[in-house]
Amino acid sequence: MQKPIIAGVGFTKISAHWKSSLKDLASEAALKALNDAGNPEIKAIVVGNMMSGIINGQENLGSLVAESIGLQGVPSVKVEAACASGAAAVMWACLSVLSGIFESVLVVGVEKMTDVTDNEDMSSALATAADYDYEVFFGATFPSLNAMIMRSYAEKYNLSPEDFGHLPILMHKNAVDVAHAQLRFPITMEGYLNSPVISDPLKLYDSAPIGDGAAALVITSRDGAGNLDHAVEIAGFGSATDTLATYRREDITSLMAAKLATKRALSMAALEPKDFDIVQIHDAFSVIGYLNLEALGIVEKGKAHKFIASGDADRSGALPVNPEGGLKARGHPVGATGVYQIAELALQLSDRAGPSQIENPNVGVAMNIGGTGANVIVHVLRRIE
Residues labelled as active-site residues: 83, 332
Calculate the alpha carbon distances from 94 to 45, 141, 372, 379 in Å. Answer: 11, 33, 25, 10
Query: Taking Cα atoms as reference points, which of 50, 88, 49 lies closest to residue 239?
Result: 88
Phi, psi of 249, rounded to the nearest 5 degrees: -85, 145
| Contact call for residues 271 and 363 (beta carbons, < 8 A) | yes
CA distance 83 to 292: 14
Query: Taking Cα atoms as reference points, which of 51, 62, 110 lies closest to residue 86?
Result: 110
CA distance 260 to 281: 16
- Enumerate the β-bridge partners of residue 127: none
Query: Taking Cα atoms as reference points, which of 284, 300, 4, 327 lies closest to residue 149?
Result: 284
